[in-house]
Amino acid sequence: MPAEKRKLVVARYENIELGEDFGPIEEVVDDYKIKKFAFMMDDYHPWYFADSPFGKRIGHAAILANDLLQLFTQVYDPNTVVGLHTQEELWFVNPVFVGERVRLYGKYVEKYERRGKGYVVMEADGRGEDGRVLLRHRGVEILHIEPGPVVGKSTAEAVEKRVTGEYRKDVEPVSRARFGIAPGTPLLPLVKHITQDQIALFSGVGKHLKNIHTDIEVARKAGLSNTLAQGMMETIYLTELLTSFFGSSWFTTGWEKMKFMAPVLSGETITARGVVTGERKDVEGTRLELEIWVENPAGKMTAAGWASGRVSGS
């Protein structure tokens, strides 16, 4: 007889068990996943469809990021989630090859209350067939609150160093990383129009999930005027920006940390931006440090954070 299916737990802060393992989940990064991800993120980089500098086709640097974020749904019912993603941190260690079978692992490592809200922290990673780490994730989420009254109300943890969104207007934006870029130099911005089809597919509509991202009625009951794009989508737009900037080195040396501050609604056009803040040496070469952010058509930041990566050839 088949094993009895485990009953999922209601996703409330008080039900979260620290240290409980999620995974391993195995999946193949096949051609369908590549094409679906390209549609969701409107990113058709040639390395995802033909040869790359790594000798064969690879997946988007963040193709496993949302899978890692959603690992908790192995145990907790995704249809009971009423929460808000407030922080995301990713480390890019190795590329994933198209056709490769990967394993995903994770667990909740921390939970705490702050200003009457329950925060949970998950750490997870994706590993290749040979055991190499591909991507590491650390995410912070407020769990089981009504997001309508909260979005845009400074729910993110205290920012280490505030991202101002300021950059030099007297220099041309740069499109590729190199040595000697002056602090304050902006990156060539990336503009994205976010459709409901993309948001819904990214957030599980194909699995018949109903949430503030996939269902307008759920969103309205939560106090929102429209469905909401996941913060992870903003992170991945910035990952595209940084992949274009750093090139192949981003897949093995990249790091980014984001704070989510204001909602991005279905149908909006956003701009992903970055500015070089400095250059530093480490044991393996030279890293450029950046501030990164996403802004809406009104010029308001919806997400902001920091990134770094090694200059190719250093």
CATH code: domain of residue 23: 3.10.129.10
In a domain, 107, yes or no: yes
83 and 172 housed in the same domain: no
In a domain, 126, yes or no: yes
Residue 6's pLDDT is what?
A: 67
In a domain, 159, yes or no: no
Higher pLDDT, 311 or 312: 311
Q: Which of 93, 17, 99 is nearest to 59 (CA)?
A: 99
66 and 138 housed in the same domain: yes
44 and 93 housed in the same domain: yes
* pLDDT, average across residues 222-227: 72
Question: Which of these ranges, 81-85, 95-99, 242-246, has the smallest mean pLDDT?
Answer: 81-85
19 and 141 housed in the same domain: yes
* Host domain of residue 24: 1-145
63 and 179 housed in the same domain: no
* pLDDT, average across residues 290-298: 96
The answer on pLDDT for 1 being more than 70 is no
Q: Which of 202, 192, 208, 256 is nearest to 228 (CA)?
A: 202
In a domain, 6, yes or no: yes
Question: Which of these ranges, 50-64, 89-103, 160-174, 243-257, has the smallest mean pLDDT?
Answer: 160-174
Structure tokens at 177: 């990383």
In a domain, 94, yes or no: yes
CA gap 204, 191 in Å, rounded = 24
pLDDT interval class at 282 (50, 70, 90):
confident
Please count the structural domains in the chain: 2
The answer on pLDDT for 2 being more than 60 is no
In a domain, 154, yes or no: no
In a domain, 219, yes or no: no
Question: Which of these ranges, 32-41, 96-105, 163-172, 263-272, has the smallest mean pLDDT?
Answer: 263-272
Residue 10's pLDDT is what?
A: 84
249 and 309 housed in the same domain: yes
72 and 173 housed in the same domain: no
Q: Which of 112-121, 154-163, 291-300 has the highest mean pLDDT?
A: 291-300
24 and 94 housed in the same domain: yes
Residue 42's pLDDT is what?
A: 97
pLDDT interval class at 157 (50, 70, 90):
very low
pLDDT interval class at 160 (50, 70, 90):
low
Structure-derived torsion over alpha carbons of residues 25, 30, 33, 39, reported in degrees to the nearest 10? 160
Residue 64's pLDDT is what?
A: 98
Q: Which of 307, 305, 308 is nearest to 285 (CA)?
A: 308
